[in-house]
Amino acid sequence: MMDLKRPYRTMTEWSKEYGPIFRIKLGFQEMVVLTGYETVKEALVNQADTFADRPFVPIFEDIAKGFGLVFARGENWKVMRRFTLSTLRDYGMGKRTIEDKITEECSVLTKTMETYAGKPFDVKRILTAAVSNIIVSILLGKRYEYEDTTFLRLLKIATENIQLAGSPALLLYNLFPKLGFLLGARKIIMKNQKEFHDFIQTTFIEYLQDLDENDQRNFIESFLVRQRQENMKMANDGYFHNENLICLVADLFGAGTDTMGNTLRWAILLMMKYPEIQSKIQEEISREIGDIQPRTDHRAKMPYTDAVIHELQRFANIVPSNLPHATTMDITFKGFFIPKGTYIAPLLTSVLHDESQWEKPHEFYPDHFLDSEGKFVKRDAFMPFSAGQRVCAGENLAKMELFLFFTSLLQKFTFQPPPGTSKDDLDLTPCIGLISSPMPYKTCAVLR
């Protein structure tokens, strides 16, 4: 009955028959599925504390063992989240300092695209590298060249693991963990994870050698300084240890690389598919920005561009299933009793395509975010970063990156399908994976 490649589609269909809350059993795993804006908001926002935990999922347990941020639980998660949010702010999240880094990276990216001289190329590698450099600058205090072999290997590992984590083989493993030894996908994930963890381990050993508490230069150094302070107090709370650091860095690297890289790949694909929308954005850029480097201050004057960015996030549906939640206590929710520790699947795709909230939920329609006068309007059902206690920690950074990269690219280039390909030939079917990425495609970046 279940579409193992895209289980969220089957669950969305079932919600039409069984309502917005229903229970399913997959293998030995029972889960409660929440669908639609009203139900998901009630759980994640209005009852945020009750739905804030993570369930035990075998592959995530293998990868993180409950450490880090994304798959952590209980007090460990609370401590790591507090530290992460305050440290990201210290390194400029939402401020001018990080904006300068993003605009510098935009310049490198557009110059790299110019070298293709309007000929067809696959944007995946350079887009992923460009956005990854932003989170790398926070974590490691440096940037990599797009051709750097170490960097390319790290990007390949992150992308491959996220794709495999949403594959049918891994769904089977999560349902029947004893089959793990039979599944090649799990072996690849674990091998990749070890390679990535070894890289982080050697990186922070370098930082330990010249650590200056009064001059912290990046996220890893801030963690190591905090670790040293906790050890000196002799009242070590047990959270600032190396396993948490390794998993935290891996979480932030993966989240800051793959989601943003894929959103921009969707953006370019959609601009080729809808050239009239691309033209309207470019008119607004010419009118409001001209030839100067786009800055976040420009956003307020660019309602159409802002609406298109919001719509492409809604339409791209980057994390359709959301990450699983779990209840922290027994609760009676909308008339149903849900015990503590229940696996909860709050489907983001059902919110972003809720037919009661969007005029054209299954189409790319920027007018969703515009009023009759062409002014930008917020929509409550816009939840691409999830919501509540487990909302994406890098949401503000992601919004800034998306606006600056997108406007910088459309200021410089018009994106067109390769010769011999029409816009009608472009496929908007997403690939299989935990993150919804577009099918591989080539584009021509034609200088304006």
3-state secondary structure of 281: helix
CB 356 within 8 A of CB 36: yes
Q: What CA–CA distance (Å, rounded) separates 239 from 293?
A: 42
Task: Give the integer Cα–Cα distance in Å for 51 and 340.
Answer: 10
Count the Cβ atoms, other than its own, within 10 Å of residue 286: 12
Main-chain dihedrals φ then ψ at residue 315, nearest 5 degrees = -70, -40
Which H helix or E strand runs over 336? strand 336-338
User: Dihedral of CA 220/222/228/234: which sign?
Assistant: negative
For residue 247, say whether it is annotated as part of any ligand binding site: no
Q: Which two structure tokens, joined as six digits, stand for 447?
A: 């200088």
Q: Give the 3-state secondary structure percentages of the chain, helix then strand then coil, rounded to 5.
A: 55, 10, 35
Answer left, alpha or beta for residue 132, where phi above 0 means left and psi between -120 and 50 means alpha: alpha
Residue that the structure tokens 């002799």 belong to: 234
Write out the two tokens for 280.
């309207």
> What residues have CB less than 8 Å from 365, skipping those under 6 apart?
311, 358, 359
DSSP 8-state secondary structure symbol assigned to residue 192: H
Rounded CA-CA distance 188/195 in Å is 11
Annotated binding-site residues for heme read 392
Annotated binding-site residues read 392
